[in-house]
Amino acid sequence: MRLDINLATNVYEDSRQFWIRWGIALGLLSIVTLGLLTLAITGFWVARQDRSKISELESKIAERDKERADAEALLNRPENRVIRDKSQYLNDLIARKAFSWTKAFEDLERVMPSKIHLVSIQPQLNDDNQLVIKMVVAGESSEKAIELVKRMEDSKHFRETRIGSQGPATVQPGSTDTVQFQIDALYVPTHDLGGAK
């Protein structure tokens, strides 16, 4: 007759459960690591493509800047200055002719708050051939001018609106105006075919 006696000093443990748990944990950790590695590689690839596009756009911008500089150098030659000045003058006239006073006043009327009114308005072209409106408004308080600037910025017809200067209003009989402001803004008219010019 044979007897099996366990003379071990430690209690018997089922190591199979231990290895199953650690195997599952290790598998999950491997999946997470693989996912993070995939995200990192994808991010690197996207960043590489973005850098390539940026480089391409920068080279196009440099090419356009060179073309512009060459054109300006050609126009700045002494023999071409008369033509350049005449061309610039005619372009300014065309741009001013294209300005619709009726449309500008309609757009201003939509954004003008109560108790403030337009004193003067002057359209002009800036160095980038954008239409700038310089206007003087008068009202009873500076809050109305600030409200006008906010409304103009919220409108799709005005950009980069700012108060240029502020001072006391010129005294007019029967007027309650106390302050006067100069406001400058880029004007972006909408060109619809049915609009009055």
Q: Is the pLDDT of residue 112 over 50?
A: yes
Question: Which DSSP category does 75 fall into?
Answer: H
Highest mean pLDDT among 36-50, 62-76, 121-135, 153-167: 36-50
Cα–Cα nearest to 166, from 179, 177, 147: 179
pLDDT tens across 45-101, in order? 999 999 999 999 999 999 999 999 998 888 888 888 888 888 888 877 777 676 677
Per-residue model confidence (pLDDT) at position 196 = 39
pLDDT band for position 29 (50/70/90)?
very high
Does the reported pTM lie above 0.85? Answer: no
How do the domains of the chain map onto residue ranges?
15-76, 100-187
Is residue 144 exposed (0-12), middle (13-18) or buried (19+ Cβ within 10 Å)? Answer: buried
Instruction: Strands of the chain (E only): list them.
Output: 116-125, 131-139, 158-168, 179-187
Per-residue model confidence (pLDDT) at position 39 = 93
Whole-angstrom CA distances from 104 to 144, 164, 172 are 20, 20, 25
Which residues fall within 8 angstroms of residue 74, CB to CB, at 6 or more apart?
80
Per-residue model confidence (pLDDT) at position 197 = 37
Q: CA-to-CA distance for 159 and 132, rounded, in angstroms?
A: 9
Per-residue model confidence (pLDDT) at position 192 = 46
Bridge partners, residue 167, by sequence: 180
Task: Name the percent of the chain lying above pLDDT 70.
Answer: 83
Q: CA-to-CA distance for 179 and 170, rounded, in angstroms?
A: 8
Whole-angstrom CA distances from 12 to 3, 21, 110 are 18, 18, 88
Cα–Cα nearest to 175, from 123, 142, 138, 141: 138
The CATH number given to 100-187 is 3.30.70.60
Mean pLDDT of the chain: 81
Per-residue model confidence (pLDDT) at position 1 = 59
Q: Which amino acid is at 46?
A: V
